[in-house]
Chain A
């Protein structure tokens, strides 16, 4: 499987992260998103007319969206059906709701980070305000979840792709001027995500204490 990516994008990290946890080998194809804007080149737009990253070439199909890529990896490579509980309708509904939150975080916290880091245009105040609204929602959910003995977004003993999808933009949000000071339950949850067996970091993410640093800038 081939992953076209720019390593600094949280959406690309999410796919690498799930692949690492599920021990699915990925060949990484670096796309020079910045400063060369390679995702706007004719060659890349032929592959993905949307001009977005990551793109996952599974060998059978080309997936143009990171959440679709996470769904595919979990559906195909998690025989125990823990990362994507397809048989449970209510859990799947909840999972989709959290994937919506993940996308909204990408478009708010993620956009703020790209604005501050590489000068991408954004309504920076609006992005930060939206990110905080989402973080407040996440904080309340996780706090009450902890009281009920749950460690993850779904009321489950096991994390799902929702946890990873939400995690990647939360863990990097401070680079976009969105502080996590007000969200202690979120901070505890990010520590738990980092302790998932097989977890890998990306630049800008610090490992949990006992974890060996495992990552790569791209093949």
Chain B
């Protein structure tokens, strides 16, 4: 699994009681903010029968799987309740696979492997741009954004899978978000028609 921290969501992508769905280096992820503010980044898969957490529901500090309504607690990811056996405590081993999360510069970052500490994002005040998913490999996208001239914009990439990448930008001037979005759309069109 790929080491290092990658941006996978904007902080504003996580309204209350919503489960955000994404993928990093072929790892499907379910991302949700609990009532206590903790941002959970979980492998998008219930350990019971493999159903995606991202089609489930959030209740305060718990995520409920859509299939059998098993509940999993924010933070540890431990299973807290199995409705089929309401009087039994679920085994400790039953838990979501949880990855670490940090919020920096309005983005949510996670790390799938390794133990590198989350690097600071040293930028002037910025706002996150609309994420731009591109059906091209990471290398091609990185080359394109390196060649592109976008002053006042700082770009990061989130590799989704072998042929898909999300461009995540931070803009210094919120008034230019529409223009920057147009520029990224042009970039995407160029990349995808190549």
**Cβ of B41 to closest chain A Cβ, rounded Å:** 14
Contact present for B59 and A209 (CB under 8 Å): yes
Complex CA gap A143/B133 in Å reads 14
Is A23 located at the chain interface by the 8 A CB criterion? no
Q: Which residues of chain A are near B57, meaning CB under 8 Å?
A: 208-209
Contact present for B58 and A209 (CB under 8 Å): yes
Q: Which residues of chain B are near A147, meaning CB under 8 Å?
A: 177
Is A180 located at the chain interface by the 8 A CB criterion? yes
Tally A residues with Cβ within 8 Å of B.
Answer: 16
A 146-160 binary contact with B (CB < 8 Å = 1; else 0)? 110000000000000
Complex CA gap A188/B17 in Å reads 10
Is B20 located at the chain interface by the 8 A CB criterion? yes
Tally B residues with Cβ within 8 Å of A.
Answer: 25
**Cβ of A93 to closest chain B Cβ, rounded Å:** 21
Contact present for A191 and B66 (CB under 8 Å): no
Complex CA gap A35/B130 in Å reads 44
Given contacts A144-B178, A206-B66, contact A184 B15 (CB under 8 A): no
Is A219 located at the chain interface by the 8 A CB criterion? no
**Cβ of A211 to closest chain B Cβ, rounded Å:** 10
Chain A 144-194 interface residues, beta-carbon cutoff 8 Å to B = 144, 146-147, 180-182, 184-185, 187-188, 191
Is A140 located at the chain interface by the 8 A CB criterion? yes
Is B181 located at the chain interface by the 8 A CB criterion? yes
Q: Which residues of chain A are near B185, meaning CB under 8 Å?
A: 140
Complex CA gap A180/B9 in Å reads 15
Which one, A144, A182, A187, A191, contacts B133 given CB within 8 A?
A: A182
Which one, B18, B66, B130, contacts A188 given CB within 8 A?
A: B18
Contact present for A184 and B13 (CB under 8 Å): yes
Contact present for A181 and B23 (CB under 8 Å): yes
Residue of A143, A181, A185, A191 most packed against chain B (CB within 10 A):
A181
Is B102 located at the chain interface by the 8 A CB criterion? no
B 25-64 binary contact with A (CB < 8 Å = 1; else 0)? 0000000000000000000000000000001011100001
Q: Which residues of chain B are near A206, meaning CB under 8 Å?
A: 55, 66
Complex CA gap A206/B19 in Å reads 13
Contact present for B177 and A187 (CB under 8 Å): no
Is B110 located at the chain interface by the 8 A CB criterion? no
Complex CA gap A38/B60 in Å reads 47
Which one, A143, A187, A209, contacts B17 given CB within 8 A?
A: A209
Closest to B12 in A: A146
Where the two chains meet, the residues of B that have a C-beta atom closer than 8 Å to any C-beta of A are: 9, 12-13, 15, 17-18, 20-23, 55, 57-59, 64, 66, 130-131, 133, 160, 166, 177-178, 181, 185
Nearest 10 A-B pairs (CB), nearest first?
A209-B57, A182-B133, A143-B130, A184-B13, A191-B18, A181-B21, A206-B66, A188-B18, A184-B20, A209-B17
Q: List 22 A-B contacts (CB under 8 A).
A: A140-B130, A140-B181, A140-B185, A143-B130, A146-B12, A147-B177, A180-B21, A181-B22, A181-B23, A181-B133, A182-B133, A184-B20, A184-B21, A184-B131, A187-B18, A187-B21, A188-B15, A191-B17, A191-B18, A206-B66, A209-B17, A209-B58
